[in-house]
């Protein structure tokens, strides 16, 4: 039996639309991600468990685990008969890489079960392909950090899909999901198909400054240039009272604030525990809509997908 855990992630990180992604884990040691268990079987069997299993489609061929199994079998040209149990702990349409968690944990588990017929690059390529089928476009800013851990910069050049870059150890990340879904494909569809030249130039300046600041350990510069001029101006209308919430969080002392992935999860970056806990408590009272919503104080997950045994 193999059991794989894959962590949640923050895609885009304001300044890096489809280019930057960070794997995260709650600071209290709890798991924030999906698990997949695989055992031998005489026939394909897919079982859904976990807090958010009720959100999964009933038709097996619409299930993300089936899609992963089907693509993997086609890629290795062999039909693998296994029992796959998805522990769906991540809410669908949350903006924390829920689909990436399921894709990564499933493919890593199947690959290990079959004695690793695919190398890491082939596996990541397949992860991105399946992610693209779900969201409408291939993007790696969730699957890459979910798989490898840490802060990933999407390269896609010279057969290199992604590379890890330095992150700031003093940054504390507060993430809040209100308890409602927001379709990634819808959140992507409202973005312009073309941007003005000055926006492209400004985005290039901000992203290059962030990468420079990351490698030279300038956390103040990094947080200052983390501005989303690509997606936030269009997606903020999908999150009620977004600008008021943003200003409130910044007034509490957060050094940055933004939309995680496609939303509706929002994140705040803090440089001390007191500020993080103050923001956490305010978000619990003012952003959570139902019993499913949550707020976590997080740090980077530097491991990524891993085998956690039974």
Which tens digits make up the pLDDT trace of 36-51? 999 999 999 999 999 9
Phi and psi (nearest 5°) for 172?
A: -115, 130
Mean pLDDT of 107-133: 96
Q: Which CATH number fits domain 172-299: 3.40.720.10, 3.30.70.20, 3.30.70.890, 3.50.50.60?
A: 3.30.70.890
Cβ burial of 278 (10 Å; 0-12, 13-18, 19+) is middle
Three-state DSSP at 259 gives: strand
Mean pLDDT of 224-248: 97
Structure tokens at 191: 């973005």
Three-state DSSP at 45 gives: strand
Kind and range of the H or E element at 100?
helix 98-113
Q: Does the structure show a pLDDT above 80 at 141?
A: yes
Identify whether the C-beta of residue 100 lies closer than 8 Å to the C-beta of residue 135: no
pLDDT in tens, 275-305: 999 999 999 999 999 999 999 999 999 999 9
pTM above 0.85? yes
Distance (Å) of CA 69 to CA 15, 46, 87, 211, 273: 34, 10, 16, 36, 42
Query: What confidence category does residue 60 fall into, taking pLDDT thresholds of 50, 70 and 90?
Result: confident
Tell me which residue of 78, 145, 72 sits closest to 109, measured CA to CA.
72
Report whether the peptide linkage leading into residue 310 is cis, meaning its omega lies within 30 degrees of zero. Answer: no
Mean pLDDT of 148-177: 96
pLDDT at residue number 276: 98
Identify whether the C-beta of residue 250 lies closer than 8 Å to the C-beta of residue 238: no
Handedness of CA 71, 98, 95, 300 (dihedral sign): negative
Considering the chain, tell me which residue range(s) the CATH 3.30.70.890 domain(s) occupy.
Answer: 172-299
| Spatial distance between the Cα atoms of 22 and 153, rounded to a whole number of angstroms | 9
Mean pLDDT of 187-191: 91
| Spatial distance between the Cα atoms of 79 and 38, rounded to a whole number of angstroms | 15
Considering the chain, tell me which residue range(s) the CATH 3.30.230.10 domain(s) occupy.
Answer: 2-166+302-307
Q: Which residue has the higher pLDDT, 286 or 137?
A: 286
If you write DSSP's letter for every residue of 161-185 in order, what string do you get?
EEEEE---TT-EEEEEE-S----HH
**CATH code for residues 2-166+302-307:** 3.30.230.10
């Amino acid at each position: 039996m193999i059991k794989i855990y894959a962590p949640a992630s923050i895609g885009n990180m304001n300044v890096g639309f489809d280019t930057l992604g960070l794997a995260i884990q709650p600071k209290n040691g709890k798991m924030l991600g999906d698990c997949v268990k695989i055992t031998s079987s005489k026939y394909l069997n897919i079982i859904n468990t976990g807090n958010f299993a009720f959100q999964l489609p009933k038709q097996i061929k619409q299930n993300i685990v089936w899609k992963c199994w089907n693509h993997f079998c086609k890629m290795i040209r062999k039909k693998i008969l296994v029992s796959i149990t998805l522990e769906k702990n991540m809410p669908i349409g949350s903006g924390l890489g829920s689909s990436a968690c399921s894709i990564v944990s499933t493919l890593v588990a199947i690959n290990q079960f079959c004695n690793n017929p695919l190398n890491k690059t082939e596996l990541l390529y397949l992860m991105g392909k399946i992610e693209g089928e779900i969201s409408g476009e291939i993007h790696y800013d969730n699957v890459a950090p979910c798989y490898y851990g840490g802060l990933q910069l999407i390269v896609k050049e010279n057969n290199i899909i992604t590379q890890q870059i330095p992150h700031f150890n003093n940054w504390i990340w507060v993430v809040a999901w209100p308890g409602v879904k927001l379709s990634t494909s819808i959140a992507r569809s409202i973005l312009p198909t073309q941007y003005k030249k000055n926006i492209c130039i400004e985005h290039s300046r901000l992203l290059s400054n962030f990468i420079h600041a990351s490698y030279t350990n300038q956390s103040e510069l990094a947080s200052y240039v983390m501005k989303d001029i690509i997606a936030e101006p269009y997606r903020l209308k999908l999150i009620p009272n977004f600008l008021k919430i943003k200003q409130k969080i910044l007034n509490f002392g957060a050094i940055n604030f933004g939309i995680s992935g496609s939303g509706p999860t929002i994140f705040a970056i803090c440089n001390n525990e007191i500020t993080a806990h103050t923001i956490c408590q305010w978000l619990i009272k003012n952003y959570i809509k139902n019993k499913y919503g949550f707020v976590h104080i997080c740090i980077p997950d530097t491991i990524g997908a891993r085998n956690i045994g039974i």
